[in-house]
Amino acid sequence: MTTATTANQRSAQTGHVQRNTVLFRPGVRPVRISGFSTTFDVRTILITAALVVAALAVAWWNMISGSAGITATDTLGALLGGADEGTSRVVLEWRAPRVVFTLLGGAALAVAGAVFQSQTRNPLGSPDIIGFSTGAYTGALLVASFGFTGLLATPLAAVAGGLATGVLVYLLAWKGGVSGLRIIIVGIGVSIFLGSFNTYLMTVLDLEIAMSVATWGAGSVNDITWAHVLPLLAILLLTFPVMLSQARNMHLMEMGDDAAAGLGIRLERVRLVQFTCGILLVAVVTAAAGPIAFVALVAPQLALRLTGASSVQLLPAAAMGALLLTTSDAIARAEFLPASLPVGVITLILGGGYLVWLLVSLGRSRKAST
Amino acid sequence: MSVQTVYQELQPAQRVGSPGRRCTLIILVGLVLLIGLCWISLFTGSGSIPAHRVLSTLSSWAAGDLPSGARDTTELLILERRLPRTVLAVMVGAGLGAAGVVMQAMTRNPLADPGLLGVNAGAYTAVVFGSAAMGVTVGAAHVWLAVVGALIVAVSVYVIGTSGAMGGNPAKLVLTGVAIGALLSGISFAVTLLQPEVFDRVRFWSAGSLQGRSIDELSAVLPFLAVGLFIALLLPRALNALALGDDAAVALGARPGVTRLAGLAAVTLLCGAATAAAGPLSFIGLMVPHALRMLSGPDHRWLIPLSLLAAPVLVLTADILARVVVAAELPAGVVTAFLGAPVLIWLTRRKAVKNR
């Protein structure tokens, strides 16, 4: 966008180019169908496609690798319905839900992260940092301490806890407007506070309940079944088109509230829709697999760097998220490790490393420019 | 209005609020609190030991009547569990409090804290690695590892967090600390999950607890803490000069480079040793300097000695609370985080993070 404006200014100054001609960045193709028009960035499309292919390839690797010694042809046979009962149970009941969940869940987390980052105008404004995951964990623990556990109670409590934490952080950071950095530091504070509260709750709970909640709290996809995948798929189908339809308004809002309002965008409505969809997506993944760290933070930023776009975009972010979570899962259950790790630990290491790199490169780019 | 009248008008007010008097009062209150809490700490615990038994044990120990071979279970509990634990709480508290003051002064950052800036996580990760690679358990090597880990992380967080875009912003330093801390905690979490025997060795102090510390561990970390505290006590004047900015400090005859180096040494020794002894305890170094600055003003000649008094009070309180709040003991680190996080939020709201 900046390139186009400067080019326009330059042409206005020199007068070489006729007025009213819109200049596009190299690699951007405009498409007009009767009254409607849109632009396609060739590089973005290519990179998104490459990311999708990579994610699917890793997903396929996750399908065929594992301790059961099932080959690629066996897997294919099981998927097509022509394998013996044991093989098809391993493939269809154990591996397939997990693989589909990592693909969809990664995409969902990344899209939610992109929305949060866009709305807070800060790469660190992701649900992890704002304390959503810790709050979800607190909700699950609280409900467990009252004696409710199960397929329905834990997820619902997690969603409620996450939402309440999000609202709390927002209110605590509110001081005549929400500054990006303040919301992040307040979020870190609330996370640490709830984290210690969680540790306290763990000591109060019965050992068995505490153990089952603790497994959930590490962020693991080990116990994913189709019953977890279907709600995720439903929410994703419901929210993703809505979010995509608002993406254009979202990008305009990144220029600042006043400018966006001047362009006729109903700010609060877009914000409410995007935040609600984002929270729903994070909640449904968190409810099934526990808090998976940092995918929402890292995936949109990595996609942004690869596509070279001016701000976070939903589709490349989704593809990146799917690739990131499937790869983390592949590493987590890789055979060279003596024990299977929760996928949340891998994403924590990858995400933490990326965050450090982000802060380092932030320093370097400034030095180079001054 | 002449200069003299202004002076005369100011004088009584200054005398009432003079830092010297107030600080003397604070020191007195602090001493009373500290002694009282030490006393409580010796008398509370999971076993129900009657108070007179504790008293008789302590008095006969003080008189030298109790050689280590001739102690019964109760005497063992008091002398080898509660006594080291209390002494350790005081030492660790003093170390973390002084480290917090020095850090906040050096970085001129109100949000600096050894826990928030990832220094404790660095010490922890180094010990986990040492335990995984070399089978280190307790003793001097364990403390050295923690100190080295603290040093590496302190330097890298400072370099990354203060350079480049938003380099002067307090929040960026905290973010860098949190990012490095998250990365390190992920790595050490993975290591402990993959090697259960390492987990077994480190789990007792991974949450930040003073439970079950012995005389051996106490004597292993004491020299490090002592050297760190000695350096910190030499620094107040230099830190006061540094608070005015590097240029003004140089003009006043201070050497900011030397001060920073000495401060770094003090922070590293104190945080490394405190973490080696008690595990990662967060927020002590954040809360104590702020509370004291409100009471005594920004003069480091008062702040550092006062922190040596106030921080042990806080750690002892957290440790005693951790013992009595629930049936099974809570790690003291949980209590300090529970108390400290609201302070962080309050500071953030108050002034620390400007809208940039």
CB contact under 8 A, A182 and B349: yes
**Is A126's pLDDT higher than 80?**
no
Reported pTM: 0.73
Chain A: residue whose CA lies nearest to B177: A356
Per-residue DSSP letters for B85-106? HHHHHHHHHHHHHHHHHHHHHH
Q: How far apart are CA A192 and CA B113, in angstroms?
A: 14
pLDDT digits (tens, 9 = 90+) for B320-342: 888 887 666 777 888 888 888 88
The shortest C-alpha distance from A133 to chain B (Å) reads: 14
pLDDT, residue B169, reads 67
pLDDT, residue A25, reads 65
Chain B: residue whose CA lies nearest to A336: B194
Q: How far apart are CA A105 and CA A293, in angstroms?
A: 12
**Is B291's pLDDT higher than 70?**
yes
Are A323 and A50 contacting, i.e. CB atoms less than 8 angstroms apart? Answer: no
Q: Which of A206-215, A233-242, B149-158, B293-302 has the lowest mean pLDDT?
A: A206-215
Which band of pLDDT confidence, cut at 50, 70 and 90, is reported for residue B115? Answer: confident
The shortest C-alpha distance from A122 to chain B (Å) reads: 12
Q: How many CB atoms lie within 10 A of CB A65?
A: 17
What is residue A311's DSSP assignment? S
- C-alpha separations of B145 from A181, B134, B276 in Å: 34, 11, 9
Which band of pLDDT confidence, cut at 50, 70 and 90, is reported for residue B207? Answer: low
**Is B229's pLDDT higher than 90?**
yes
CB contact under 8 A, A185 and B161: no
Chain B: residue whose CA lies nearest to A173: B349
Which band of pLDDT confidence, cut at 50, 70 and 90, is reported for residue B292? Answer: confident
Residue B200 C-beta-side C-alpha neighbours within 13 Å? 4
Q: How far apart are CA B60 and CA B124, in angstroms?
A: 38
Question: Number of CB pairs < 8 Å for A and B?
Answer: 143
Q: What percent of chain A has pLDDT over 90?
A: 11
> Residue B11 corresponds to which tokens in the numbers above?
């004088």
pLDDT digits (tens, 9 = 90+) for A301-344: 888 878 877 778 889 999 999 999 999 988 888 766 666 778 88
Query: Best-predicted range by mean pLDDT among A82-91, B167-176, B295-304?
Result: B295-304
Q: Which of A54-63, B35-44, B221-230 has the lowest mean pLDDT?
A: B35-44
Are A161 and A133 contacting, i.e. CB atoms less than 8 angstroms apart? Answer: no
Q: How far apart are CA A165 and CA A207, in angstroms?
A: 26
Are B282 and B120 contacting, i.e. CB atoms less than 8 angstroms apart? Answer: yes
pLDDT digits (tens, 9 = 90+) for A56-74: 999 988 888 776 667 777 7
The shortest C-alpha distance from A195 to chain B (Å) reads: 8
CB contact under 8 A, A182 and B282: no
Q: How many CB atoms lie within 10 A of CB A2?
A: 8
Q: Are strands A28-33 and A36-41 parallel, antiparallel or unpaired?
A: antiparallel
Q: A362: which chain B residues are within 8 Å (Cβ-Cβ)?
A: 164-166
Q: How far apart are CA A249 and CA A270, in angstroms?
A: 7
pLDDT, residue A326, reads 92
pLDDT, residue A156, reads 80
In whole numbers, what is the pLDDT of chain B averaged over residues? 79
**Is B180's pLDDT higher than 70?**
yes
pLDDT, residue B40, reads 85
Q: B184: which chain A residues are within 8 Å (Cβ-Cβ)?
A: 352
Interface of A with B in 29-68 (CB under 8 A): none
Domain ranges of chain A: 34-80+90-369
Name the 3-class secondary structure at A275: helix
**Is A110's pLDDT higher than 90?**
yes
Are A15 and A29 contacting, i.e. CB atoms less than 8 angstroms apart? Answer: no
What is residue B195's DSSP assignment? -
pLDDT digits (tens, 9 = 90+) for B260-274: 889 888 988 998 888
Is A192 at the interface with chain B, CB within 8 A?
yes
**Is B39's pLDDT higher than 60?**
yes
Q: How far apart are CA A283 and CA B249, in angstroms?
A: 52
CB contact under 8 A, B335 and A196: yes
pLDDT, residue A321, reads 93
CATH of A34-80+90-369, one of 3.40.309.10, 3.40.50.300, 1.10.3470.10, 1.10.10.10: 1.10.3470.10
Interface of A with B in 199-228 (CB under 8 A): 199-200, 203-204
Q: B161: which chain A residues are within 8 Å (Cβ-Cβ)?
A: 359
CB contact under 8 A, A177 and B355: yes
Q: How far apart are CA B235 and CA B243, in angstroms?
A: 12
pLDDT digits (tens, 9 = 90+) for A272-290: 888 888 888 888 888 788 8
pLDDT, residue A104, reads 94
Q: How far apart are CA B162 and CA B109, in angstroms?
A: 10
CB contact under 8 A, B193 and A346: no
- Provide the residue count of chain B: 356
- C-alpha separations of A318 from A43, A52, A162, A207, B105 in Å: 16, 9, 22, 38, 44
Whole-complex ipTM: 0.71
pLDDT digits (tens, 9 = 90+) for A82-92: 777 777 777 78
pLDDT, residue A367, reads 44
- Sorted by where each starts, the structural domains of chain B and their CATH numbers stand as 96-352 (1.10.3470.10)
> Residue B270 corresponds to which tokens in the numbers above?
């104190």
- C-alpha separations of A194 from A112, A126, B335, B339 in Å: 22, 17, 11, 11
pLDDT, residue B204, reads 61
Which band of pLDDT confidence, cut at 50, 70 and 90, is reported for residue B5? Answer: very low
Average pLDDT over residues A190-201: 83
Chain A: residue whose CA lies nearest to B340: A193
- C-alpha separations of A199 from A81, B321, B334, B335 in Å: 47, 15, 7, 10
Per-residue DSSP letters for A206-220? -HHHHHHHHHHHT--
Is A283 at the interface with chain B, CB within 8 A?
no
Name the 3-class secondary structure at B210: coil
- Which is higher by pLDDT, A155 or B300? B300
Is A177 at the interface with chain B, CB within 8 A?
yes
